[in-house]
Amino acid sequence: MKIFSIENPVFKAISRIGDMFILSFLWLIASLPIFTVGAATTAAYDSAFKIIRARDTNVFRDFVTSFKSNFKQATALFLIMLPIGAVIAADLYYWAHTEGELAFVMNALSLGIAALYLVTLLFVFPVQAIFENPVKKTLKTAFLMALNNWSTSLLLLAVSVGISYLCYVFPIVGYAFLIVGSGLFTMIFAVRFLVIFRKYNADLAPDRPEECDIEPIEKPKSKGTVKIKASRKNRIIK
C-alpha cells in the first residue's frame, strides 16, 4: 500500500470526516429559514446515500442539486408533518399534566401515537430522497416502511430521542451536534435506510462494493411489499 495513495485507510477516514463536516454545515445553513428543514434533510440524505454507495461524489454539488430538485415536495411534506407534530405535542403535554385514570390511558395512547408519528418522520425524508411519488404516497410509504421494519424504526427512534435529550440537557452537545453530529448521524442512519430500501429495489447496491467502506449492505429479499418502477428516481407504486 502506498502511504500517500488516496486508497490509504487514513486518507479515506479523513475524507469521510470531511464529508460529515460539509454535510453538517450545508444542512445547518439550508435549514435556517426553518420551513426549508424538509428540503435540507432530504438533500443531506440524498448526498449521504451517494457517499455510502461509493460513487464519485461532490458533496456540495450533490446537496445543492438535491435541495433544488426536492425543494417543493420536501417542503410540502415538512409543512404537513409540522402541525401534526405540534398537535401531538400539545396533546401529550395536556394529558401529562392531568390526573385520573382517563388521563393515564390517554397519556399512554398519546405516547403510542407520538411514536408512530416520529418513526414516520424519520423515514419520510429518506424516502423522498430515493423514491419519486406524490406527497400522499410518500407519506404512506414512509409509514408502512417504518411499521414493516419496526426493529430498525425503534432503534433509530431510541437513538434520536437519546440525542435530543442530551442536546437539551447539555447545550455543548447540541453545539457539537450542529457542527458535525448532524452529518455523522445522517451517514449512520443512511446505512440502515439503504438496507431497508434494497428490499424494494436491488439497484440500490453499492456501485463499487469493494470501495464501499460503510457496512453492512444486505442482499435484497426476493419479494417486497411494494413494487418498483424505475424512473428519474425510484417510483413506488402499489
- Does some domain include residue 3? no
Q: Which residue has the higher pLDDT, 62 or 229?
A: 62
- Does some domain include residue 76? yes
* pLDDT band at 213; cut points 50, 70, 90: very low
- Does some domain include residue 27? yes
CA gap 48, 45 in Å, rounded: 5
Q: Which residue has the higher pLDDT, 133 or 222?
A: 133
* pLDDT band at 56; cut points 50, 70, 90: low
- Does some domain include residue 1? no
- Does some domain include residue 4? no
What's the sign of the alpha-carbon dihedral 37, 84, 168, 186?
A: negative
Give CA 49 to chain center in angstroms. 10
Rounded to an integer, the average pLDDT of 27-45 is 95
Give the structural domain span for 184.
9-237
pLDDT at residue 55 greater than cutoff 90:
no
Q: Residue 16: its pLDDT value, please?
A: 78
Rounded to an integer, the average pLDDT of 114-125 is 96
Q: Is the whole model's pTM more than 0.85, yes or no? A: no
Compute the CA torsion angle 111, 81, 47, 236 (nearest 10 deg): 100
CA gap 4, 219 in Å, rounded: 34
pLDDT digits (tens, 9 = 90+) for 58-99: 899 999 999 999 999 999 999 999 999 999 999 999 988 888
| 196 secondary structure, DSSP code | H
- Tell me how many domains the chain contains: 1
pLDDT at residue 134 greater than cutoff 90:
yes
Q: Residue 71: its pLDDT value, please?
A: 96
Q: Are 51 and 44 in contact (CB under 8 A)?
A: no
Q: What is the CA radius of gyration of the chain?
A: 19
CA gap 62, 39 in Å, rounded: 13
CA gap 110, 40 in Å, rounded: 29
Helices (H), 32-149: 37-52, 59-96, 101-130, 135-148
- Does some domain include residue 2? no
* pLDDT band at 7; cut points 50, 70, 90: low
Q: What are phi and psi of 149, to 5 degrees?
A: -125, 55
168, three cell numbers:
437539551
231, three cell numbers:
424512473
Q: For a pLDDT cut of 90, what percent of the chain falls above it?
A: 54
CA distance readout (Å), 28 to 22, 24, 34, 193: 10, 6, 10, 22
Q: Residue 48: its pLDDT value, please?
A: 93
Q: Residue 52: its pLDDT value, please?
A: 85
pLDDT at residue 112 greater than cutoff 70:
yes
pLDDT digits (tens, 9 = 90+) for 143-198: 999 999 999 999 999 999 999 999 889 888 888 888 888 888 999 999 999 989 98
For the chain, give the mean pLDDT. 82
